[in-house]
């Protein structure tokens, strides 16, 4: 039962991060997910210092507020002649370092543990359960991330048309009257909420892994958006299940292994993807090279036959040409050869 809870929690966390992560990636805001995971900590710490209850709903309000604050601050700095990446790096470092200073200064008086917040350990999540009116409804991490997942999926389904329009053609979307910034703010709020709920289970840094890796892998596999969403979810699910299983076998950090498996999945897809993978493209390039060489050799033979000059041929290429039936035994151009050359645009008039 505990094992099942662990697997389910991992699965929900991983999918809940991947869905908003995909939209952040498509809108070119991936680095914001990195910034959010760091800066949200300041909101959590500040709220904790005020309400001093780690399970309080205000924690989420504080975290979301600091997430939105980060996005606004970054935008403000960009108007100050600081480039986007520098602004993001500056803002989250400032908020994060302040959060760590506050945590260590007040560490003695609180239950906020730096290691737990930043590195997280999902293995303990099945033991922290939500009990409502005497009924055990499940592990806290699973329920909270389930809510986050439900919100992102609802957001995506309800605003699908608007999301697609503003993501892929922001200019005309603005002209027609859609406001991309409203949806961006919605996404930032959703992402902050997801980050806060996920962080408990997997820690701040690994949230970035779940937000970027599955979407990036799906992006390499397809151009179709619907298929990309499906693949993202599928890859997030498989990374979490394999990750948890491997971690149990080796008895090492569960969230770390989940991230490592997600990375491995990406590398495999990057190298071996059917048409756009590195290896597939190498093979394609080599094939293309042979085709070009064959055509060049054919042209060479044709033009020299016409002028009756002495010429040198490559034996291997000629054999391949004959095997394809483009030339006959006497190295005369066949009708198939003529058609091939015409299709390649290398022969405009029919050869006598």
Partner 1 sequence: MIDSVLLVIIIASVIIGALSGSLGVIMVLRKRSLLGDAISHATLPGVAIAYLFFGKDPLFLIAGATCAGVVGVALVVLITNTTRLRVDVVMGMMLAVFFGVGMVLLTYIQKLPTTGQAGLQAFIFGQAAAVVWQDVYVISALGLPIMCVVGIAWPIIHAFCFDHAWLHARGLSSFVVDLGVMFCVSVVIAMGLPIVGALLMSALLIAPAIAARPWSTRMSQMMIIAGGIGAVCGVVGALISSAYARIPTGPTIVFLSVVIALLSHVIAMRFRSARIRSAL
Distance CA 166, CA 171 (A): 8
Residues 210, 17: Cα–Cα separation, whole Å: 6
Kindly tell me which of 65 and 220 has the beta carbon lying closer to partner 1: 220
Q: Rounded to the nearest whole angstrom, what is the least distance from the CB of residue 29 to partner 1 in the complex?
A: 8
Residue with structure tokens 């390039």?
Answer: 285
Tokens of 22: 């995909």
d(CA 131, CA 176): 49
Positive or negative torsion for Cα 284, 286, 289, 290 = negative
Closest to partner 1 by CB, 148 vs 214, is 214
Nearest approach in angstroms of CB 347 to partner 1 is 36
Alpha carbon distance 168, 173 (integer Å): 9
Q: Closest CB to partner 1 among 108 and 315?
A: 108
Whichever of 286 and 319 has its CB closer to partner 1, that residue is 286
* Residue listed under structure tokens 């966390």: 13
CB of 118 to partner 1, least distance (A): 7
State the residues that interact with partner 1 by CB under 8 A: 25, 28, 30-31, 33-34, 38, 77, 80-83, 85-86, 88-90, 93-94, 96-98, 100-101, 104-105, 107-108, 114-115, 118-119, 205-209, 211-213, 215-216, 219-220, 247, 250-253, 255-260, 262-263, 266, 270, 276, 278, 281
Bridge partners, 333 (sequence order): 327
What is the nearest approach in angstroms of partner 1 to the Cβ of residue 337?
A: 36
> Closer to partner 1 at the Cβ: 9 or 257?
257
> Between residues 114 and 313, which has the closer beta carbon with respect to partner 1?
114
CB of 323 to partner 1, least distance (A): 34
Closest C-alpha among 6, 4, 3 to residue 258: 6
As measured in angstroms, the least distance from the Cβ of 104 to partner 1 is 5
Q: How far is Cα of residue 310 from the mean position of the Cα atoms in its chain?
A: 59
Strands 135-139 and 129-132, sheet pairing: antiparallel
């Amino acid at each position: 039962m505990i094992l099942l809870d662990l697997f389910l929690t991992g699965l929900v966390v991983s999918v809940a991060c991947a869905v908003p992560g995909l939209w952040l990636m498509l809108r070119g805001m991936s680095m914001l997910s990195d910034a959010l995971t760091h800066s949200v900590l300041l909101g959590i710490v500040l709220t904790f210092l005020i309400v001093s209850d780690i399970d309080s709903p205000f924690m989420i309000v504080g975290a979301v507020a600091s997430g939105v604050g980060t996005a606004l601050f970054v935008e403000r700095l960009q108007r100050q002649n600081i480039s986007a990446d520098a602004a993001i790096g500056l803002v989250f470092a400032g908020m994060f370092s302040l959060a760590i200073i506050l945590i260590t200064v007040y560490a003695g008086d609180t239950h906020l543990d730096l290691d737990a917040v930043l590195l997280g350990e999902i293995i303990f999540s099945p033991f922290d359960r939500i009990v409502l009116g005497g009924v055990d409804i499940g592990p806290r991490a699973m329920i909270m991330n389930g809510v986050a997942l439900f919100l992102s999926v609802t957001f995506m389904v309800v605003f699908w048309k608007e999301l697609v329009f503003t993501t892929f053609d922001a200019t005309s979307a603005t002209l027609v009257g859609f406001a991309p910034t409203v949806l961006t703010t919605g996404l930032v709020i959703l992402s902050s909420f997801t980050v806060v709920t996920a962080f408990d289970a997997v820690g701040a840094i690994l949230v970035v892994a779940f937000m970027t890796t599955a979407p990036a892998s799906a992006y390499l596999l397809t151009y179709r958006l619907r298929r990309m969403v499906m693949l993202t979810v599928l890859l997030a699910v498989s990374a979490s299940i394999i990750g948890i299983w491997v971690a149990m076998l080796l008895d090492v950090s569960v969230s770390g292994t989940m991230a490592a498996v997600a990375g491995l999945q990406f590398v495999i897809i990057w190298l071996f993807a059917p048409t756009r993978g590195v290896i597939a493209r190498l093979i394609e390039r080599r094939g293309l090279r042979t085709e070009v060489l064959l055509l060049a050799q054919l042209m060479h033979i044709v033009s020299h036959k016409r002028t009756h000059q002495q010429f040198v041929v490559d034996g291997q290429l000629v054999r391949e040409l004959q095997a394809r039936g483009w030339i006959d035994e006497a190295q005369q151009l066949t009708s198939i050869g003529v058609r091939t050359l015409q299709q390649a645009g290398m022969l405009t008039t029919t050869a006598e």
